């Protein structure tokens, strides 16, 4: 994989909330509106099982880990994009073997806050809560979208306590 620009290229987990500028990054994603949260694992599996090979067939290459980007807070459903950052924008949709359609999108440019979660996915909600609280205490204002990079791919046999997921939130621009 080619390397991603800062802040997406950190070799070490961010143990405390960091704020920095992030560039726009082209992505190839499956985008779903009002997607049932209880079916999220089937969306992830149906996308990530086939997406790398489909992109390679199109001459496009992932340049970073899989991610999920949320356009609103998920409750029983989510408005979500799942995919990869890529080295070139997708020029036409691709239909995966799972039936999902892949389209071009982008991670947004702007000021972002980010922190790393190390551990199983079951504790992600707790990490998001602590991250949100830390952003509020720093007098920053979160805005949509927010996203997760699955830095450590979840493979069979991977110890869940070693999984690294980087959490990102776009921040309101500063007026100063």
Per-residue model confidence (pLDDT) at position 13: 92
Per-residue model confidence (pLDDT) at position 1: 42
Residue 154 banded pLDDT, cuts 50, 70, 90: confident
Assign a CATH topology to domain 18-171.
Answer: Multidrug-efflux Transporter 1 Regulator Bmrr; Chain A (3.20.80)
Region of residue 51 (phi > 0: left; psi between -120 and 50: alpha; otherwise: beta): alpha
**What are 40-82's pLDDT values in tens digits?**
999 999 999 999 999 999 999 999 999 999 999 999 999 999 9
Mean residue pLDDT of the chain comes to 92
Structure tokens at 139: 């007098």
Q: Identify whether the C-beta of residue 23 lies closer than 8 Å to the C-beta of residue 5.
A: yes
Per-residue model confidence (pLDDT) at position 59: 96
pTM (2 decimals)? 0.93
Per-residue model confidence (pLDDT) at position 155: 78
- The CA distance from 32 to 36, in Å, is 10
**What are 18-44's pLDDT values in tens digits?**
999 999 999 999 999 999 999 999 999
Q: Identify whether the C-beta of residue 5 lies closer than 8 Å to the C-beta of residue 64.
A: no
pLDDT above 90: residue 4? no
């Amino acid at each position: 994989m080619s390397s991603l620009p800062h802040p997406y290229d950190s070799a070490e987990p961010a143990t405390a909330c960091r704020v920095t500028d992030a560039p726009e990054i082209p992505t190839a994603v499956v985008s779903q509106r009002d997607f049932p949260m209880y079916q999220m694992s089937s969306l992830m599996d149906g996308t990530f099982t086939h997406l790398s090979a489909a992109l390679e067939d199109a001459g496009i290459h992932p340049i970073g880990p899989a991610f999920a980007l949320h356009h609103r807070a998920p409750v029983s459903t989510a408005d979500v994009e799942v995919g990869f950052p890529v080295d070139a924008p997708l020029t036409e949709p691709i239909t995966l073997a799972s039936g999902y359609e892949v389209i071009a999108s982008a991670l947004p440019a702007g000021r972002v806050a980010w922190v790393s979660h190390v551990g199983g996915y079951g504790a992600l909600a707790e990490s998001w809560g602590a991250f949100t609280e830390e952003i509020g205490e720093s007098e920053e204002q979160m805005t949509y979208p927010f996203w997760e990079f699955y830095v450590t791919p979840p493979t069979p046999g991977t110890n869940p306590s070693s999984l690294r997921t980087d959490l990102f939130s776009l921040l309101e621009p500063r007026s100063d």
